[in-house]
Amino acid sequence: MSSQGIANPAPLGLAGFGFTTVLLNLVNVGLVDSSLETSFVLTMGLFFGGLCQLIAGQWAFKLGEVFPATAFTAYGAFWETFAFYLIIGPVFGLIGSPSGESVAAYMILWGIFTFYMWINSFYHNWNLVGVFGTLWLLFFLLGAHFFTGSDLILKIAGAEGVLCGFLAVWTSFCFVFLEHTGTKLPGMETPFE
Protein backbone atom coordinates (compact mmCIF):
# COMPACT_ATOMS: atom_id res chain seq x y z
CA MET A 1 0.00 0.00 0.00
CA SER A 2 1.27 3.47 -0.81
CA SER A 3 1.95 6.18 1.74
CA GLN A 4 -1.33 7.81 0.68
CA GLY A 5 -3.30 4.70 1.69
CA ILE A 6 -3.96 3.82 -1.95
CA ALA A 7 -2.85 0.44 -3.26
CA ASN A 8 -0.39 0.06 -6.12
CA PRO A 9 -2.26 -0.15 -9.47
CA ALA A 10 0.61 -2.00 -11.20
CA PRO A 11 -0.56 -5.59 -10.50
CA LEU A 12 -3.99 -4.91 -12.05
CA GLY A 13 -2.63 -3.02 -15.05
CA LEU A 14 0.09 -5.58 -15.75
CA ALA A 15 -2.33 -8.51 -15.41
CA GLY A 16 -4.83 -6.87 -17.78
CA PHE A 17 -2.10 -6.14 -20.29
CA GLY A 18 -0.35 -9.49 -19.89
CA PHE A 19 -3.27 -11.88 -20.14
CA THR A 20 -4.83 -10.00 -23.06
CA THR A 21 -1.48 -9.91 -24.88
CA VAL A 22 -1.02 -13.66 -24.37
CA LEU A 23 -4.52 -14.41 -25.70
CA LEU A 24 -4.14 -12.28 -28.85
CA ASN A 25 -0.72 -13.73 -29.59
CA LEU A 26 -1.93 -17.30 -29.15
CA VAL A 27 -4.19 -16.38 -32.08
CA ASN A 28 -1.21 -14.93 -33.99
CA VAL A 29 0.79 -18.12 -33.46
CA GLY A 30 -2.19 -20.17 -34.64
CA LEU A 31 -2.87 -22.02 -31.37
CA VAL A 32 -6.26 -20.38 -30.74
CA ASP A 33 -9.15 -19.89 -33.18
CA SER A 34 -9.01 -16.42 -34.72
CA SER A 35 -12.73 -16.22 -35.53
CA LEU A 36 -14.23 -13.19 -33.78
CA GLU A 37 -17.39 -15.16 -33.13
CA THR A 38 -15.53 -17.76 -31.05
CA SER A 39 -12.54 -15.80 -29.74
CA PHE A 40 -12.45 -13.89 -26.48
CA VAL A 41 -9.85 -11.44 -27.81
CA LEU A 42 -12.49 -8.77 -28.41
CA THR A 43 -14.01 -8.92 -24.92
CA MET A 44 -10.62 -9.30 -23.22
CA GLY A 45 -9.41 -6.27 -25.20
CA LEU A 46 -12.40 -4.17 -24.20
CA PHE A 47 -12.51 -5.01 -20.53
CA PHE A 48 -9.38 -6.57 -19.05
CA GLY A 49 -6.78 -5.19 -21.46
CA GLY A 50 -8.60 -1.91 -22.06
CA LEU A 51 -10.85 -0.83 -19.21
CA CYS A 52 -8.76 -2.29 -16.37
CA GLN A 53 -5.62 -0.63 -17.69
CA LEU A 54 -7.42 2.69 -18.11
CA ILE A 55 -8.56 2.42 -14.49
CA ALA A 56 -5.02 1.48 -13.37
CA GLY A 57 -3.65 4.46 -15.29
CA GLN A 58 -6.01 6.92 -13.61
CA TRP A 59 -5.22 5.31 -10.26
CA ALA A 60 -1.49 5.88 -10.92
CA PHE A 61 -2.19 9.53 -11.86
CA LYS A 62 -3.91 9.90 -8.46
CA LEU A 63 -0.69 8.61 -6.84
CA GLY A 64 1.39 11.06 -8.89
CA GLU A 65 3.25 8.24 -10.67
CA VAL A 66 3.88 9.46 -14.21
CA PHE A 67 5.46 6.31 -15.70
CA PRO A 68 2.71 3.79 -14.79
CA ALA A 69 0.00 6.40 -15.37
CA THR A 70 1.28 6.98 -18.90
CA ALA A 71 1.87 3.31 -19.63
CA PHE A 72 -1.44 1.93 -18.35
CA THR A 73 -3.55 4.72 -19.83
CA ALA A 74 -1.82 4.49 -23.21
CA TYR A 75 -1.95 0.69 -23.50
CA GLY A 76 -5.51 0.66 -22.17
CA ALA A 77 -6.34 3.03 -25.03
CA PHE A 78 -4.46 0.72 -27.42
CA TRP A 79 -6.67 -2.23 -26.44
CA GLU A 80 -9.81 -0.10 -26.60
CA THR A 81 -8.96 1.18 -30.10
CA PHE A 82 -8.06 -2.32 -31.26
CA ALA A 83 -11.27 -3.85 -29.89
CA PHE A 84 -13.41 -0.95 -31.11
CA TYR A 85 -11.94 -1.33 -34.58
CA LEU A 86 -12.90 -5.02 -34.53
CA ILE A 87 -16.45 -4.09 -33.47
CA ILE A 88 -17.06 -1.45 -36.13
CA GLY A 89 -15.01 -3.20 -38.81
CA PRO A 90 -15.12 -6.98 -39.11
CA VAL A 91 -18.05 -7.59 -36.73
CA PHE A 92 -20.55 -4.95 -37.95
CA GLY A 93 -18.94 -3.99 -41.24
CA LEU A 94 -19.34 -0.27 -40.59
CA ILE A 95 -15.89 0.52 -41.95
CA GLY A 96 -13.76 -1.13 -44.59
CA SER A 97 -10.52 -2.96 -44.04
CA PRO A 98 -7.48 -0.71 -43.77
CA SER A 99 -4.51 -1.27 -46.03
CA GLY A 100 -1.61 -3.31 -44.74
CA GLU A 101 0.54 -0.20 -44.85
CA SER A 102 -1.84 1.78 -42.62
CA VAL A 103 -1.99 -1.02 -40.02
CA ALA A 104 1.82 -1.29 -40.24
CA ALA A 105 2.09 2.45 -39.55
CA TYR A 106 -0.26 2.09 -36.55
CA MET A 107 1.90 -0.73 -35.14
CA ILE A 108 5.17 1.09 -35.81
CA LEU A 109 3.92 4.23 -34.05
CA TRP A 110 3.06 2.08 -31.03
CA GLY A 111 6.54 0.58 -31.33
CA ILE A 112 8.13 4.03 -31.19
CA PHE A 113 6.07 4.97 -28.12
CA THR A 114 6.99 1.67 -26.49
CA PHE A 115 10.68 2.13 -27.29
CA TYR A 116 10.83 5.37 -25.33
CA MET A 117 8.82 3.78 -22.50
CA TRP A 118 11.37 0.93 -22.54
CA ILE A 119 14.24 3.40 -22.06
CA ASN A 120 12.38 4.88 -19.08
CA SER A 121 11.69 1.41 -17.66
CA PHE A 122 15.42 1.18 -16.82
CA TYR A 123 14.63 3.32 -13.77
CA HIS A 124 12.08 0.81 -12.42
CA ASN A 125 12.91 -2.91 -12.36
CA TRP A 126 14.36 -5.61 -14.59
CA ASN A 127 10.96 -7.24 -15.13
CA LEU A 128 9.59 -4.02 -16.62
CA VAL A 129 12.69 -3.69 -18.79
CA GLY A 130 11.83 -7.16 -20.15
CA VAL A 131 8.14 -6.35 -20.66
CA PHE A 132 8.78 -3.11 -22.54
CA GLY A 133 11.76 -4.56 -24.44
CA THR A 134 9.74 -7.47 -25.78
CA LEU A 135 6.75 -5.19 -26.43
CA TRP A 136 8.54 -2.70 -28.68
CA LEU A 137 9.97 -5.64 -30.61
CA LEU A 138 6.45 -7.11 -30.90
CA PHE A 139 5.03 -3.89 -32.35
CA PHE A 140 7.82 -3.65 -34.92
CA LEU A 141 7.36 -7.32 -35.88
CA LEU A 142 3.62 -6.75 -36.28
CA GLY A 143 4.38 -3.68 -38.39
CA ALA A 144 6.65 -5.81 -40.58
CA HIS A 145 3.93 -8.46 -40.87
CA PHE A 146 1.28 -5.97 -41.96
CA PHE A 147 3.67 -4.28 -44.36
CA THR A 148 4.80 -7.55 -46.02
CA GLY A 149 1.85 -9.85 -45.37
CA SER A 150 4.27 -12.55 -44.19
CA ASP A 151 2.63 -15.31 -42.13
CA LEU A 152 6.06 -16.37 -40.86
CA ILE A 153 6.66 -12.91 -39.37
CA LEU A 154 3.19 -13.05 -37.77
CA LYS A 155 3.99 -16.40 -36.13
CA ILE A 156 7.35 -15.09 -34.88
CA ALA A 157 5.57 -11.99 -33.56
CA GLY A 158 2.97 -14.20 -31.92
CA ALA A 159 5.58 -16.30 -30.10
CA GLU A 160 7.41 -13.16 -29.01
CA GLY A 161 4.08 -11.63 -27.90
CA VAL A 162 3.26 -14.66 -25.75
CA LEU A 163 6.64 -14.18 -24.05
CA CYS A 164 5.92 -10.45 -23.56
CA GLY A 165 2.50 -11.18 -22.06
CA PHE A 166 3.84 -13.80 -19.68
CA LEU A 167 6.59 -11.41 -18.54
CA ALA A 168 3.85 -8.90 -17.68
CA VAL A 169 1.87 -11.58 -15.82
CA TRP A 170 5.02 -12.59 -13.89
CA THR A 171 5.67 -8.95 -12.99
CA SER A 172 2.08 -8.57 -11.78
CA PHE A 173 2.55 -11.65 -9.59
CA CYS A 174 5.85 -10.25 -8.25
CA PHE A 175 4.17 -6.99 -7.20
CA VAL A 176 1.39 -8.87 -5.36
CA PHE A 177 3.93 -11.23 -3.75
CA LEU A 178 6.06 -8.27 -2.63
CA GLU A 179 3.03 -6.57 -1.11
CA HIS A 180 2.05 -9.70 0.83
CA THR A 181 5.48 -10.92 1.93
CA GLY A 182 7.89 -8.00 1.63
CA THR A 183 10.11 -10.28 -0.48
CA LYS A 184 11.40 -9.28 -3.92
CA LEU A 185 11.25 -12.07 -6.47
CA PRO A 186 13.74 -12.31 -9.37
CA GLY A 187 13.59 -9.30 -11.67
CA MET A 188 12.20 -6.84 -9.16
CA GLU A 189 15.59 -5.24 -8.63
CA THR A 190 16.21 -1.99 -10.47
CA PRO A 191 19.01 -2.04 -13.05
CA PHE A 192 20.93 0.56 -11.02
CA GLU A 193 20.89 -1.30 -7.66
Closest to 174 (Cα-Cα) out of 54, 22, 10: 10
- Please give the pLDDT value at position 33: 81
What is the residue-wise DSSP string for 45-88? Answer: IIIIIIIHHHHHHHHHHHHT-HHHHHHHHHHHHHHHHHHHHHII
Provide CATH code, domain 10-181: 1.25.40
pLDDT in tens, 127-184: 999 999 999 999 999 999 999 999 999 999 999 999 999 999 999 999 999 999 999 9
- Please give the pLDDT value at position 3: 54
Per-domain boundaries in the chain: 10-181
More confident residue, 89 or 135: 135
pTM of the model: 0.91
Q: What is the DSSP letter of 89?
A: I
- Please give the pLDDT value at position 177: 96
Angle at 153 between CA 149 and CA 155, to 5 degrees: 110
- Please give the pLDDT value at position 88: 81
Instruction: Say whether pLDDT at 38 is over 60.
Output: no
Q: What is the DSSP letter of 96?
A: P
pLDDT in tens, 42-88: 899 999 999 999 999 999 999 999 999 999 999 999 999 988 887 88
Do residues 125 and 189 make contact, with C-beta atoms less than 8 angstroms apart? Answer: yes
Do residues 22 and 159 make contact, with C-beta atoms less than 8 angstroms apart? Answer: no
- Please give the pLDDT value at position 96: 77
C-alpha count within 13 angstroms, C-beta hemisphere, residue 53:
29
Rounded to whole angstroms, the Cα distance separating 120 from 128 reads: 10
- Output the CA–CA distances (angstroms, integers) from residue 166 to 34, 68, 128, 171, in the order listed: 20, 18, 12, 8
Burial class of residue 48, CB neighbours in 10 A (0-12, 13-18, 19+): buried
Instruction: Say whether pLDDT at 186 is over 70.
Output: yes
Instruction: Say whether pLDDT at 2 is over 60.
Output: no
